[in-house]
């Protein structure tokens, strides 16, 4: 297997590689003149193509897996390294190329020449197998991985919490205001038993999974985590957000975890609420 970029492929063949048709033609030409079986042609932001020596085999093009480009240094080396490891472990060329493509996408999201860790690749593979919304619902281990990655990039982490039963425009407004205070917003929700202990036996109307799924679909939300305690204090200690956000129905001194966050230099932000919306009032009206 040889892994040229577009410039190297053009130099080796003295052929134009301005589009996919030309890339495939140049790749076939190079393969016909040498003993290697495959070419994996890396194409920067356009992804990569896997071309087989057998002209009857289908060319597989893989779109770039990058979410946010920070620094392209080392992307090609990452492809070579991960591809070699996976082929040595017995992976087929296409699967190995797919995972190498994911690894390169992770590396370019980091500053300068960086390494990619197995847990980062596994996290990306897991994300690909989940729907857009539910992949944002995380357990403690997964959310810690994401927080570490965000902090490596210098991003500020925001945190807000609530029951979010029967999600309404007031909830969405609060979340949108919270997102303005940070780069990445984590929303913590009480699980069903916790809501029941706070709101009464008839609540929640929506299960914790349903509430988490709806919140995950919001563009302003980057992660959702479900907690079982009455308050999110343990979770706040675990996450250590840069900013803790609550609605104006709270005073700063009433915000759970506020003193803790301020001790390490974080902020507590009280944001305006959208008046006229209440899950409890809606449920009461439906009951009557």
Kindly report, residue by residue over 46-82, the tens digit of the pLDDT: 899 999 988 888 899 998 876 666 657 788 899 999 9
Residue of 71, 77, 208, 222 with catalytic role: 77
Residue 235 CA, distance from chain mean position: 20
First to last CA, the chain: 71
Tokens found for residue 205? 């109307």
Which pLDDT value is given to residue 172? 92
Which pLDDT value is given to residue 5? 93
Which pLDDT value is given to residue 113? 79
Domains of the chain by start residue, with CATH: 6-129 (3.40.1190.20), 135-287 (3.40.50.620)
Which pLDDT value is given to residue 202? 75
Which pLDDT value is given to residue 108? 87
DSSP secondary structure string, 164-192? Answer: --S--HHHHHHHHHHHTT-SEEEEEEE-H
Positions of the chain with pLDDT lower than 50, given as ranges: 132, 288
Q: Which pTM was predicted?
A: 0.56
Which pLDDT value is given to residue 252? 86
Alpha-carbon span 237 to 210, nearest angstrom = 26
Sign of the alpha-carbon dihedral angle for 19, 20, 25, 26: positive
Alpha-carbon span 163 to 181, nearest angstrom = 21
Which pLDDT value is given to residue 181? 96
Which pLDDT value is given to residue 166? 78
Is residue 77 annotated as part of the catalytic site, yes or no? yes
C-alpha closest to that of 165 among 140, 132, 196: 196
Please state whether beta strands 48-52 and 184-190 pair in parallel, antiparallel, or not at all (unpaired).
unpaired
């Amino acid at each position: 297997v040889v892994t040229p970029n577009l410039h190297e492929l053009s130099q080796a063949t003295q052929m134009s590689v301005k589009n996919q048709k030309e890339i495939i033609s140049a790749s076939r030409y190079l393969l016909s003149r040498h003993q290697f079986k495959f070419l994996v042609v890396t194409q920067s932001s356009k992804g990569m193509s896997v071309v087989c020596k057998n002209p009857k085999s289908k060319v597989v093009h893989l779109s770039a897996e990058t979410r946010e480009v920070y620094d392209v240094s080392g992307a090609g080396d990452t492809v070579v390294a991960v591809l070699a490891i996976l082929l040595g472990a017995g992976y087929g060329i296409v699967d190995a190329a797919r995972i190498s493509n994911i690894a390169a996408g992770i590396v370019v999201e980091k500053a300068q020449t960086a390494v990619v860790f197995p847990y980062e690749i596994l996290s990306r593979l897991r994300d690909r197998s989940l729907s857009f919304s539910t992949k944002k619902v995380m357990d403690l281990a997964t959310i810690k991985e994401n927080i570490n990655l965000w902090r490596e990039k210098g991003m500020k982490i925001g945190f807000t919490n609530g029951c979010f039963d029967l999600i309404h425009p007031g909830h969405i407004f609060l979340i949108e205001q919270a997102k303005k205070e940070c780069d990445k917003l984590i929303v913590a929700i009480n699980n069903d038993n916790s809501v029941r202990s706070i709101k009464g036996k008839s609540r929640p109307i929506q299960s914790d999974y349903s509430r988490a799924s709806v919140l995950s679909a919001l563009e302003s939300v980057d992660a959702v985590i479900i907690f079982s305690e009455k308050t999110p204090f343990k979770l706040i200690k675990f996450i250590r957000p840069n900013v803790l956000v609550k609605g104006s129905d709270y005073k700063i001194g009433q915000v759970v975890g506020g003193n803790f966050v301020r001790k390490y230099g974080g902020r507590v932000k009280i944001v305006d609420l959208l008046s006229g919306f209440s899950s409890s009032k809606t449920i009461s009206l439906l009951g009557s």
